[in-house]
Amino acid sequence: MALRIQVTGVGGQGVIVVARVLAQCAVSSGMHCVMSEVHGMSQRGGIVQSSVVIGNGDAAMIGEGQADLLIAIEASEALRQGRILKPHGTLVLNELTVIPPHLVQNTDPYLSVEDTVEWFEQHQAEIWRVKGPAIAGDLGSPKVMNSAILGTVVKSGVLPFDLDQMGDAIVTVTRGRLQEMNIAALRRGYRESYRKDQA
């Protein structure tokens, strides 16, 4: 059996770090894991995606309707990747939208977090939400937002990792001066995230 995870967002949000932490959790737990990365124009806010397959499987390719878990660091990117999620799969959604540079001057409304939630509700996904930007802002660095999202991943119960295992993986992957802040963000993401039907 394999657990298939798709991580999506835009450049600078730590998409690849999230995937590497998940892979590190798997490896540290003695589980087989493969990972792939797709970089768009990440320096200009372009799309960045990563696939992680834990368990059986020699390729990190995830087809339409195959992902058990979709982790979206930016809401509209969740919509772009929505069909990769299997029926009744789980979405971990960061409550953040980033308007693409070429649309900044456009007066038409851009897709909101609630638009994203509505689409996934219609497709019967289990939706877990977290206010990553607010948590990161409180802690003093936007760079720890993805750790808050990983706390939500743990709380969702989709993956066989607990909060301590995720924290150890974050420390291994990130290193440096933000480690304590990352662990604080992880724990707040766990405490403050909620499932849509529990709001």
pLDDT of residue 8: 92
The domain that holds 49 is classified in CATH as: 3.40.920.10
pTM: 0.90
Name the residue range of residue 30's domain.
2-100+112-198
Label residue 198 by pLDDT band (50, 70, 90). Answer: low
Examine residue 73 and state whether it is found in any structural domain, yes or no. yes
d(CA 120, CA 118): 6
Examine residue 106 and state whether it is found in any structural domain, yes or no. no
- Total structural domains in the chain? 1
Residue 14: is its pLDDT beyond 60? yes
d(CA 149, CA 108): 29
Examine residue 105 and state whether it is found in any structural domain, yes or no. no
Residue 139: is its pLDDT beyond 60? yes
pLDDT in tens, 59-91: 778 999 999 999 999 998 898 899 999 999 999
The whole-number average pLDDT for the span 132-150 is 95
Q: Which residue has the higher pLDDT, 97 or 65?
A: 65
pLDDT of residue 56: 79
User: Chain-wide mean pLDDT for the chain?
Assistant: 87
d(CA 165, CA 131): 22
The whole-number average pLDDT for the span 121-127 is 93
pLDDT of residue 54: 94
* Entry field: residues in the chain: 199
**Is-contact 169 21, C-beta < 8 A?**
yes
What percent of the chain is predicted at pLDDT more than 70?
Answer: 87
